[in-house]
């Protein structure tokens, strides 16, 4: 694929910043960098240009928690009328110690997916993704299970117990951290990343032929602002321990390279969740084959719940 036009969310620091820099050095002719504050993202674009010696960065204000901001960003992209070749949905958040909801009633760590969905569907509806576009969304290792201090919800059991077996309603409850959902920050984070993996699989079935989407865990990279909201146990116990174990942590630049690696994957693995090998948080990424990740009923429930919460769906039917 010709390296031409990329858009990266959450670029004012951490993995998004590193990814934007790498895209410029890889030869992309334009990289749209986004952030909640226009002034801050303008500073980011200037800093990236100075560091890379590449005048390819275009700032775009985008607050994924605010549908009006997503629509404003989409309108600006429509006016530019330049199809995007690589869409990197990087922005994310570790849950706060106490539950925080957006104005739309979405739990804070679930909110980026809602905004990313609105952005992606909006770009598809406006025909602003190139025919062979690649979409990468940030996942995380806890979605596969087996990560100390993190546990995802057993969706079928939760749906059967509280929602008469309706998995879509159950996913919506998790997204909103609603009735019968106990707020445990690390578990909420695991649920958010599992829903991302399911959403990715469902989106892949809806994309036009030639396009592809992947969920990619960047792995251990604790030197980023994404952990600013983490609870004390994670921030002061788990992360310091991980940092002491060889191979369990990596620089933001190394982690961001996983995103770029996935941007070159083929359509044969579209919809898959890529993460480290079992027991690892760095090193090569591989397709995760755990059965709960590949449950089609859960994947479709996640898609329908996100559509309902976001109010956004395709305006036409892909085949």
Over residues 133-187, the pLDDT tens digits come to 999 999 999 999 999 999 999 999 999 999 999 999 999 999 999 989 999 999 9
- Tell the CATH topology of 5-310: Rossmann fold (3.40.50)
Q: Give the pLDDT band of residue 280 (cuts 50, 70, 90).
A: confident
**What span, in angstroms and rounded, lies between the C-alpha atoms of 187 and 129?**
34
Q: Which long-range contacts (CB under 8 A, 24 or more apart) does 55-60 make?
A: 56/24, 56/28, 56/29, 56/30, 56/31, 57/20, 57/24, 57/30, 57/31, 57/32, 57/33, 58/30, 58/31, 58/32, 58/33, 59/32, 59/33, 59/34, 59/35, 60/7, 60/32, 60/33, 60/34
For the chain, the helix, strand and coil percentages under 3-state DSSP, each to the nearest 5:
50, 15, 40
- The dihedral sign for the CA sequence 144, 67, 108, 57: positive
pLDDT value at 236 more than 70: no
Select from 56, 49, 48, 132 the least CA-distant residue to 87. Answer: 132
Q: Are 106 and 176 in contact (CB under 8 A)?
A: yes
**Cβ of 248: how many Cβ atoms within 10 Å?**
18
Chain position carrying tokens 């958010």: 192
The rounded distance, in Å, linking the Cα atoms of 287 and 215 is 10
d(CA 176, CA 108): 9
Residues ≥6 apart with Cβ < 8 Å to 31: 6, 7, 8, 20, 23, 24, 48, 56, 57, 58
Residue 270, burial from CB neighbour count under 10 angstroms (0-12, 13-18, 19+):
buried
> 108-146: per-residue pLDDT in tens?
999 999 999 999 999 999 999 999 999 999 999 999 999
Residue-averaged pLDDT of the chain: 91
């Amino acid at each position: 694929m010709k390296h031409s036009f990329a858009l990266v969310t959450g670029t004012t620091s951490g993995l998004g910043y590193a990814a934007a820099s790498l895209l410029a050095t890889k030869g992309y002719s334009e990289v749209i960098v986004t952030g909640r504050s226009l002034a801050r993202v303008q500073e980011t674009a200037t800093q990236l240009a100075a560091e890379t010696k590449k005048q390819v960065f275009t700032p775009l204000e985008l607050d994924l928690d605010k549908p009006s901001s997503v629509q404003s960003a989409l309108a600006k992209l429509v006016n530019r009328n330049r199809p995007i070749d690589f869409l990197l949905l990087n922005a994310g958040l570790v849950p706060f110690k106490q539950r925080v909801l957006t104005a739309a009633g979405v739990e804070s760590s679930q909110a980026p997916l809602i905004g990313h969905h609105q952005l992606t569907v909006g770009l598809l509806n406006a025909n602003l993704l190139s025919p062979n576009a690649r979409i990468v969304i940030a996942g995380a290792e806890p979605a596969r299970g087996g990560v100390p201090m993190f546990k995802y919800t057993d969706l079928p059991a939760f749906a059967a117990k509280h929602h008469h077996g309706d998995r879509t309603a159950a996913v919506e409850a998790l997204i909103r951290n609603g009735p019968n959902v106990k707020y445990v920050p690390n578990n909420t984070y695991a649920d958010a990343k599992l829903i991302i993996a399911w959403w990715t699989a469902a989106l892949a079935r809806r994309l036009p032929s030639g396009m592809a989407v992947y969920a990619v865990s960047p792995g251990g990279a604790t030197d980023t602002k994404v952990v600013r909201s983490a609870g004390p146990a994670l921030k002061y116990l788990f992360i310091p321990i991980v940092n002491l174990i060889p191979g369990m942590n990596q620089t933001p630049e190394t982690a961001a390279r996983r995103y770029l690696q996935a941007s070159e994957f083929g359509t044969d693995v579209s919809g898959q969740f890529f993460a480290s090998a079992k027991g690892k948080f760095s090193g090569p990424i591989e397709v995760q084959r755990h059965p709960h990740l590949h449950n089609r009923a859960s994947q479709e429930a996640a898609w329908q719940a996100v559509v309902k919460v976001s109010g956004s769906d395709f305006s036409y039917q892909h085949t």
